[in-house]
Structure 1
């Protein structure tokens, strides 16, 4: 019932305003039959006060002053000033309290009480005591101001809640966009590492096989078998990485009946990585210092990718024949170092190089660790990453 009436009032504001003022006028005018010079002057004063309420929203202070003046004239004419007679004053003061600053509303409330009480006490035709003439009007005026202050406070609270909700919504959208951007960077980094490593390894294996085809065909055939494994592994990792971009409910997914994707790689696959580089002509030695401890999945993947990228850079950019991977386990950190012997002459940079060191540094920072890279005094190049075992 109430929601329907509220919707009707929202659709017909002028009609509701007219009905409200007519009811207010009827209630106020009824009080003028008690004492005073008769109905005539009272009806005119009530009509003027109620009509002034049409401008209470645009000029609340002026309407409060006018309705208070009407109430004081009522007392001067000898009418009994009751809370019902003061209804126009109460409505105007309520509107002022809702819209005006709190200090202004308080000053107006005190002024209205002073004027109305003074007019009521000055009325010579009222035989009531001063308490009966002063307390009810003053109480009704204070009650109207208090109600207006409460409504004002509630509106301010709702506005603050709405503002916070809008801010929270904007913040969620910004956080969502940031997460999307970070995920894109992560997937791009994965794709770079997978493609760069496997393509460099496949290129090295193919070059070695071509070089040995005539002189050592058996070893060339073995390297070609390793090349097949390298490309198959590249396809599997690309499938796993690109599969992250697919929705689980995509229709007609060609991989619906494919074998489950292998888990993310970690340091447990170092022997496989070392074997692949050995087939490409790079001898890799792995040493472990300290008690080997299990890593969290994110740190394990980061450590493997850094080793993979570092060895790939050795194969692409250095004429080195050997590389060393050192894993040093401490209480809460893993320090991994990949270095090479430098070879006899540097190789020209491979096309598209330049992002390997940046990617490794970003991976280490994303895991909460540190990364360093540079030339060694004894020759060659080394990269070092310190990673937390459990970030």
Structure 2
């Protein structure tokens, strides 16, 4: 029944409004009848009914012109009181509804100013009624209290609605901020992946082509061997680019995409660096652990970017990679031994995003990152990535 009534109230608002006003008019007329029953000097009936009809008819405009409707119902109620009717809550129904509607649709100051004015009108009317001079509670206190109570109820409902709207707007803004933050984070992650893939493989391809051109006259066999391995570098770049760009295509089947690289591909990375004349030595300390995919990719990308920087910017042709496993951390250290290196991707120079991307990767994994010149010469990249002992297990 309740659901059916609510559905009708939504689909037929004018019908519901008319029925409500008719019921309110009936309650007001009942108040007139009650007055005739309790007052010895019975006031006339039809003036009271006419004033009730005018007050109820005016309520149709209570949402558009709340103050005008409140003034009309107040005057009608005062007229009924002046005729000798007892101002009961039933008789004051149109005034109470108008005051409640005024509290809903006006400011707090307007609400209470109008409520005090209407309450004062009820007090003045009660004092002028000769039939109830011996009962000030019925003539003054009771009508004024009902008016103020109606105003308070309307103000409370208005505050609750404003609070609900404010909460909904805040929730919407918070959801938008969270969605925008997730988009930015995802965009930055993809940007790091693209930078690492392009910077590494294109650096190797450029170095291989330059080395082959340099050796083409003096050592043609070595030059042909380097050229023969050049397609492997470009093919690896295409595979990783396809995997990275595939993340942006939500509707495509990603079953044919290559898996994200990890430390298992570290020997291939060392071998690729050797084709451009960079000799990389890898040292592993502690018991190697099977890392989570995110941590495995983070460690691989940091090593890859560090070795790419060595190949691009360092005068030395050697680099050392150290992986240290402890119960709680995986420490990566990449160094090159020369005092003449000049890493152009340091944040101070602002010339690239290599070190910035490594720092962001380490921070995203909850680790620490440091890069800088060594006191004894050369450059060092050090990173400590936290391990979750519950999820990590010895590598097989």
TM-score exceeds 0.5:
yes
Alignment of 1:179 with 2:187, yes or no, is no
1:378 is aligned, of 366, 370, 376, to 376
1:313-369 per-residue CA deviation (whole Å, 9 max, x = no partner) reads 1111122121111223334222222111238787999xx963222222222222222
C-alpha displacement at 1:244, in angstroms?
Answer: 0.8
Match of 1:228 among 219, 226, 231: 231
Deviation at 1:86, TM superposition (A): 3.5
Classify 1:5/1:390 alpha carbon distance in 2 versus 1 (closer, same or farther; 3 Å). Answer: closer
Query: Distance between the aligned counterparts of 2:152 and 2:162, measured in 1?
Result: 15
Contact persistence 2:123–2:144 (CA under 8 A): no
- 1:322 equivalent to 2:326? Answer no
**In 2: Cα distance, 1:162 partner to 1:301 partner:** 45
Output the CA distance in 1 between the equivalents of 2:277 and 2:289.
Answer: 31
Q: What is the aligned counterpart of 1:4 among 5, 8, 21? A: 8
**1:123 deviation in Å?**
0.6
Normalising by structure 1, report the TM-score.
0.75
Say whether the 8 Å CA contact 2:305–2:354 is kept in structure 1: yes
Residue correspondence of structure 1 range 210-221 to structure 2 within 5 A: 210-221=213-224
Consecutive unaligned residues of structure 1, counting only runs of 5 or more, are 251-255
1:280–1:52 Cα change, 3 Å: closer
Change (3 A) 1:6 1:151: farther
3-state DSSP class of the match of 1:160? helix
Q: Which runs of 5+ in 2 are unaligned?
A: 390-396
Give yes or no for the alignment of 1:303 onto 2:292: no
Aligned to 1:388: 386
Gap change, CA 1:91 and 1:138, over 3 Å in 2: farther
Moved more, 179-188 or 94-103: 94-103
- How far apart are the structure 1 equivalents of 2:306 and 2:296? 16
Residue 293 (structure 1) aligned with residue 289 (structure 2)? yes
Deviations 1:52-103 (A, max 9, x none): 767861247645653453243123xxx5555544444444444455557486
Partner residue, 1:159: 162
Distance in 2 separating the partners of 1:5 and 1:364: 59
The corresponding residue for 1:263 is 259
Counterpart in the other structure of 1:36: 42
SS in 2 for 1:263: coil
Between 1:146-155 and 1:238-247, the stretch displaced more is 146-155
Contact 2:124–2:140 (8 Å) recurs in 1: no
Aligned to 1:362: 360
Structure 1, 274-283 or 46-55: larger mean CA deviation: 46-55
Are positions 1:58 and 2:67 aligned together?
yes
Shift of 1:378: 2.8
Structure 2 distance, partners of 1:6, 1:242, is 49
- TM-score, reference length from structure 2: 0.75
Which residue number in structure 2 is paired with residue 247 of structure 1? 250
CA change 1:277–1:104 in 2 (3 A) is same
The 3-state SS of whatever aligns with 1:262 is: coil
Kindly indicate whether the alpha-carbon contact (under 8 Å) linking 1:90 and 1:141 is maintained by their aligned counterparts in 2: no
SS at match of 1:287: strand
Moved more, 224-233 or 317-326: 224-233
Q: Which residue of 2 aligns with 1:253?
A: none
Aligned residues: 372
Of 195, 200, 203, the match for 2:203: 200
Determine if contact 2:314/2:340 at 8 Å carries over to the other structure.
Answer: no
Separation in 2 of the partners of 1:314 and 1:48?
92
Structure 1 contact 195–234 (Cα < 8 Å) conserved: yes
* 1:225 to partner: Cα distance: 3.6
Q: What SS is found at the alignment partner of 1:260? A: coil
Question: Quick check: 1:276 aligned with 2:272?
Answer: yes
Are the counterparts in 2 of residues 339 and 382 from structure 1 also a CA contact under 8 Å? yes
Equivalent residue for 1:338? 334
Taking the aligned partners of 2:342 and 2:82, their CA distance within structure 1 comes to 106
State the SS of the aligned residue for 2:250: coil
Distance 2:197 2:145 in 1: 77
CA contact (8 A) 1:319 1:344 kept: yes
